[in-house]
């Protein structure tokens, strides 16, 4: 249970004064749905109103504050669409305040003639006269709550004004409870950091641009809190797993040797090394939780297969999970040639298995007649039971949630877990996303791959590109055509993809297909299968293209509005082609003119196909928050921490978290109690649940 002291923070933002349901929708878009989200939304800029020159010295275009006397009102004649003017002055000169569509009675009330007023806004020179249109503030200098000389500016969304957002955040801050310190006193002192409450206040009261920098002390303190919560949660989850002892799986190597002999290729050094790490883990009686990272086409499947063979050699079973039916079938097909030499039985279980046939499979699995089971989500179903499941391999892990990972590992007596991903993740990010796993990497590709000819072309050349694809299709080549990511709206994505589908149909007839995120899994699989069989020449897709699908005949990748995709995403998309004998190409269609970042991205893609290099560059270009793309879940998105700028803090948080768990594994000391609150504050309830009640 979340500590009651945090309740005010976890209330819905509609609990805040002045925030109704309509505003709540907008504020949720900008900050988040709960009060705590607003407190953790950092200002992105600051308005400095502290500059107070005389009217004569006031420069145009800069925000400033003037102390003036209201001389007279100059209302436009009735019915004329002229602005309302108020003439003011100080000892140095005159300034005219200008209001369009103003209400005279309101202006007369707040700017009575003869009164002194503080006004703030931007001055402009208009035909030689000084004027200020719609000042941001006009107040009595003796009024008790004068306007702030420094104003934080928050991220906004269409329809939400800076003032409304600022007020909501201010209200949210009022609800921040006083919490006991969870950070180590010595470390706080060494860093000269304030306590949580003070740091939070400081974050939201910037006075200079330096105060909103990622390096500002308050921001660093709060980022450290977030990173510590992340690292602590990961270590707790990992410890809970390791604590549940695994078993030592050691095969005699006979089946592996037989398959190795039958393979048409030799494993690369990277594959060999990763496999050795995996086999070591399996042989130890600690439970394996390992991530195998390797770029698309680096040959992860065969590594997983060898690990599965080791389990079978030891008399146990293995399961290999794929995110889609078609991928599961592909695994089965690619491994089928080796079943006889290894003398093993392999089967597949997917959502398509029904009734008696399914029951027969389940019986075989439970009896141990199936050595290696390849499957989809269907394997998670409760009635699927193994005789002795020793190894679970999850391919393309970001399609599966943590909960599914856990559900599957409950199907055996604490099976070893191998997770495989083709998303190369920079070291720094790997620590935050996968801190609960050991990591093996395959950094090279099998020899002999042809480079992919990558080009960029403006959208204006769309017709040329279509003609080129048509020529290739007439020769039997296949193409992927990825449609733009429009904002974050799936609906708009879809419209764009459907429009392209219609326009390409005119050229390609029924040899064009469409897959998108709103289709059911089996509809998607059907289209993908038709593509796989070569019945479709051009496959139009939103970004849902099945990760890992192998269509060796597909040699062309077109990405429309490539400037809207992240670097890593483009690399992933490009990795769909270049898998067969024929030369492949990737055409990045962009909307001119290209921004600097988009241009840099395209340049990097043209220069390299090394996924790790690309991932590092992506991180550098985009900042950590964006690297993995909004579409990919399962990775933490930090509110305040930035793994690039706060890299050192991340390393420190990692060490700190390790030490905490060594000394106080159940978080029972006073600091431990405070740390539980920290975990809840950053919504790591999953980690707290692994602790015994405090
Ligand atoms: P991924 O890592 O993307 O899952 P796969 O395991 O699907 O890659 O391998 C891609 C292709 O490379 C497959 O056709 C596979 O047979 C082949 N392959 C794997 N390892 C090697 C190797 N060492 N030498 C040559 N080809 C290999
Ligand atoms: Mg794969």
Residue whose pair of structure tokens reads 């992240």 in the numeric block:
566
Atom of ligand 1 nearest to the CA of 296: 3
pLDDT band per the 50, 70, 90 thresholds, residue 401: low
Pocket probe mutation, ligand 1, options 307, 332, 446, 552, max atoms within 8 Å of Cβ:
446
* Nearest Cα residue to atom 12 of ligand 1: 299
**Quick check: CB of 265 below 6 Å from ligand 1?**
yes
Give dist(CA 398, CA 169) in Å, integer. 33
Q: For residue 469, what pLDDT is reported? A: 95
Ligand that lies nearest to the alpha carbon of residue 448, given by its number in the listed order: 1
- Across 557-571, average pLDDT: 86
The per-residue DSSP string of 490-539 comes to HHHHHHHHHHHHHHHHHHHGGGEEEE-TTS-HHHHHHHHHHHHTTS-SEE
Candidate from 58-62, 219-223, 270-274 with smallest mean pLDDT: 58-62
* Nearest Cα residue to atom 13 of ligand 1: 299
- Across 561-565, average pLDDT: 84
399, pLDDT greater than 60: no
* Nearest Cα residue to atom 16 of ligand 1: 299
Q: For residue 631, what pLDDT is reported? A: 35
Q: Return the closest-CA partner of residue 429 out of 640, 650, 229.
A: 650
CA distances for 28 relative to 12, 169, 174, 196, 288, angstroms: 10, 12, 18, 24, 40
Q: For residue 414, what pLDDT is reported? A: 78
Which bin fits 254, alpha (ψ -120 to 50), beta or left (φ > 0)? alpha
**Quick check: CB of 300 below 6 Å from ligand 1?**
yes
Q: For residue 178, what pLDDT is reported? A: 96
Atom of ligand 1 nearest to the CA of 267: 23
Q: For residue 627, what pLDDT is reported? A: 44
- CA 330 to ligand 1 centroid distance, Å: 12
Domain positions in the chain = 4-47+153-212, 50-147, 254-442, 452-608
Ligand that lies nearest to the alpha carbon of residue 324, given by its number in the listed order: 2
- CA 222 to ligand 1 centroid distance, Å: 44
- CA 614 to ligand 1 centroid distance, Å: 20
Residue 516: what are its φ and ψ, rounded to 5°? -150, 170
Q: For residue 330, what pLDDT is reported? A: 86
* Nearest Cα residue to atom 5 of ligand 1: 299
- Across 523-528, average pLDDT: 84
**Quick check: CB of 270 below 6 Å from ligand 1?**
no
| CATH superfamily entry for domain 452-608 | P-loop containing nucleotide triphosphate hydrolases (3.40.50.300)
Q: For residue 192, what pLDDT is reported? A: 96
Q: For residue 592, what pLDDT is reported? A: 84
Q: For residue 42, what pLDDT is reported? A: 95
- CA 475 to ligand 1 centroid distance, Å: 26
CA distances for 621 relative to 69, 278, 469, 562, 626, angstroms: 50, 33, 31, 15, 10
- Across 351-361, average pLDDT: 94
Q: For residue 628, what pLDDT is reported? A: 43
437, pLDDT greater than 90: no
Q: For residue 692, what pLDDT is reported? A: 73
* Nearest Cα residue to atom 9 of ligand 1: 299
Q: For residue 634, what pLDDT is reported? A: 45
Tell me what percent of the residues of the chain surpass a pLDDT of 90.
57
Tell me what percent of the residues of the chain surpass a pLDDT of 70.
91
**Quick check: CB of 302 below 6 Å from ligand 1?**
yes
- Establish whether domains 50-147 and 254-442 are of one fold: no
Q: For residue 277, what pLDDT is reported? A: 96
Pocket probe mutation, ligand 1, options 264, 292, 299, 419, max atoms within 8 Å of Cβ:
299
Q: For residue 265, what pLDDT is reported? A: 93
Which fold would CATH assign to domain 254-442? Rossmann fold (3.40.50)
Q: Which two tokens stand for residue 157?
A: 């969304």
* Nearest Cα residue to atom 24 of ligand 1: 446
Residue whose pair of structure tokens reads 């950092």 in the numeric block:
42
Q: For residue 569, what pLDDT is reported? A: 79
Please list all protein residues whose beta carbon sits less than 5 angstroms from ligand 2, which is an ion: 548
- Across 256-260, average pLDDT: 97
Q: What is the dihedral of CA 607, 611, 614, 618, to 10 degrees?
A: 150
Atom of ligand 1 nearest to the CA of 330: 7
pLDDT band per the 50, 70, 90 thresholds, residue 259: very high
Ligand that lies nearest to the alpha carbon of residue 293, given by its number in the listed order: 1
- Across 553-565, average pLDDT: 89
* Nearest Cα residue to atom 23 of ligand 1: 267
Residues of 5-32 as b/e, b for ≥16 C-beta within 10 angstroms? Answer: ebeebbeebeebeebeeebbebbbbbbb
The mean pLDDT of the chain is: 88
Strand ranges for 560-687 from DSSP E: 585-590
Question: Three-state SS for 347?
Answer: strand
238 vs 218, residue with greater confidence: 218
- CA 581 to ligand 1 centroid distance, Å: 13
Please state whether beta strands 389-395 and 416-421 pair in parallel, antiparallel, or not at all (unpaired): parallel
| CATH superfamily entry for domain 50-147 | Nucleic acid-binding proteins (2.40.50.140)
pLDDT band per the 50, 70, 90 thresholds, residue 200: very high
Give dist(CA 153, CA 155) in Å, integer. 7
- Across 450-468, average pLDDT: 92
14, pLDDT greater than 80: yes
Residue whose pair of structure tokens reads 């300034």 in the numeric block:
95
pLDDT tens profile 147-196: 788 899 999 988 999 889 999 999 999 999 999 999 999 999 999 999 99
Candidate from 302-306, 430-434, 473-477, 478-482 with smallest mean pLDDT: 430-434
**Quick check: CB of 628 below 6 Å from ligand 1?**
no
Q: For residue 622, what pLDDT is reported? A: 64
pLDDT tens profile 625-658: 444 443 343 456 788 998 778 888 998 999 999 9
pLDDT tens profile 50-82: 999 999 999 999 999 999 999 999 998 887 788
7 vs 528, residue with greater confidence: 7
* Nearest Cα residue to atom 18 of ligand 1: 299
Q: For residue 493, what pLDDT is reported? A: 55
Whether the Cβ atoms of residue 330 and residue 320 lie closer than 8 Å to each other: no
Atom of ligand 1 nearest to the CA of 268: 23
Number of residues written out for the chain: 694
- Across 271-293, average pLDDT: 92
- Across 232-255, average pLDDT: 85
479, pLDDT greater than 90: yes
The reported pTM is 0.68
Candidate from 79-83, 208-212, 333-337, 629-633 with smallest mean pLDDT: 629-633
pLDDT tens profile 99-109: 998 888 999 99
Question: Three-state SS for 45?
Answer: strand
- CA 335 to ligand 1 centroid distance, Å: 11
CA triple 41-10-204, angle to 5 deg: 25
């Amino acid at each position: 249970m979340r500590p009651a002291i945090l309740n005010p923070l976890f209330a819905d933002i509609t609990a805040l004064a002045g925030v109704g349901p309509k505003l709540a929708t907008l504020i949720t878009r900008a900050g988040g749905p709960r009060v705590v989200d607003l407190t953790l939304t950092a200002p992105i800029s600051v308005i400095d109103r502290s500059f107070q020159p005389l009217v004569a010295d006031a420069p145009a275009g800069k925000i400033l504050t003037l102390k003036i006397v209201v001389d007279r009102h100059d209302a436009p004649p009735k019915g004329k669409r002229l602005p309302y003017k108020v003439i003011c002055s100080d000892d140095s000169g005159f300034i005219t305040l200008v209001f369009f569509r103003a209400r005279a009675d309101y202006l007369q009330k707040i700017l009575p003639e003869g009164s002194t007023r503080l006004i703030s806004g931007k001055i402009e020179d208009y035909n030689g006269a000084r004027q200020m249109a719609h000042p941001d503030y006009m107040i009595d200098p003796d009024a008790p709550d004068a306007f702030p000389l420094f104003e934080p500016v928050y991220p906004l969304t269409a329809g939400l004004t800076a003032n409304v957002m600022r007020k909501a955040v201010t209200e949210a801050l009022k609800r921040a409870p006083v919490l006991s310190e969870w950070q180590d006193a010595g470390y706080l002192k060494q860093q000269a950091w304030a306590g949580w409450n003070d740091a939070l206040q400081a974050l939201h009261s910037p006075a200079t641009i330096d105060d909103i920098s990622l390096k500002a002390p308050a921001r660093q303190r709060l980022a450290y809190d977030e990173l510590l919560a992340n690292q602590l949660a990961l270590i707790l989850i990992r410890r809970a797993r390791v604590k549940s002892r695994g078993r030592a799986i050691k095969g005699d190597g006979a089946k592996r040797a037989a398959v190795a002999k039958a393979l048409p290729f030799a494993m690369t050094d990277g594959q060999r090394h990763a496999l050795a790490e995996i086999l070591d883990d399996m042989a130890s009686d600690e439970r394996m939780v390992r991530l195998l990272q390797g770029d698309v086409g680096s040959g992860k499947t065969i590594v997983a297969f060898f690990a599965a063979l080791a389990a079978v050699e030891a008399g146990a079973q293995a399961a290999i999970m794929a995110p889609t039916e078609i991928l599961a079938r592909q695994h089965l097909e690619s491994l089928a040639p080796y079943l006889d030499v290894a003398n093993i039985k392999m089967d597949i279980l997917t959502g398509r298995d029904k009734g008696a046939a399914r029951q027969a499979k389940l019986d075989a699995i439970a009896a141990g007649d199936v050595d290696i089971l390849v499957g989809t989500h269907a394997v998670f179903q409760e009635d699927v039971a193994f005789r002795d499941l020793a190894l679970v391999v999850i391919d393309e892990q970001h399609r599966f949630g943590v909960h599914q990972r856990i559900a599957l590992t409950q199907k055996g007596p604490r099976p070893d877990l191998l997770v495989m991903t083709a998303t190369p993740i920079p070291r720094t990010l790997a620590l935050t996303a996968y801190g609960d796993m050991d990591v093996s990497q395959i950094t090279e590709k099998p020899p002999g791959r042809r480079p992919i000819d990558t080009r960029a072309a403006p959208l204006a050349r769309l017709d040329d590109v279509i003609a080129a694809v048509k020529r290739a299709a007439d020769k039997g080549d296949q193409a992927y055509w990825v449609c733009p990511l429009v904002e974050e709206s799936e609906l708009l994505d879809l419209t764009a993809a459907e429009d392209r589908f219609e326009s390409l149909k005119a050229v390609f007839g029924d040899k064009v297909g469409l897959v998108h995120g709103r289709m059911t899994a089996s509809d998607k699989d059907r289209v993908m299968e038709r593509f796989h069989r070569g019945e479709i020449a051009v496959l139009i897709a939103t970004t849902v293209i099945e990760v890992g699908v192998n269509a060796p005949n597909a040699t062309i990748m077109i990405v429309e509005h490539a400037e809207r995709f992240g670097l890593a995403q483009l690399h992933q998309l490009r990795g769909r082609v270049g898998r067969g004998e024929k030369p492949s190409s990737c055409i990045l269609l962009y909307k001119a003119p290209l921004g600097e970042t988009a241009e840099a991205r395209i340049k990097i893609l043209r220069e390299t196909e090394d996924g790790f290099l690309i991932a590092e560059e992506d991180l550098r270009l985009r900042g950590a928050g964006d690297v993995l793309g909004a579409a990919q879940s399962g990775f933490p998105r930090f509110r305040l921490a930035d793994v690039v700028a706060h890299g050192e803090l991340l390393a420190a948080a990692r060490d700190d978290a390790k030490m905490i768990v060594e000394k106080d594994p159940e978080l029972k000391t006073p600091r431990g109690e405070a740390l539980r609150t920290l975990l809840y504050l950053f919504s790591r309830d999953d980690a707290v649940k692994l602790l015994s009640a405090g």
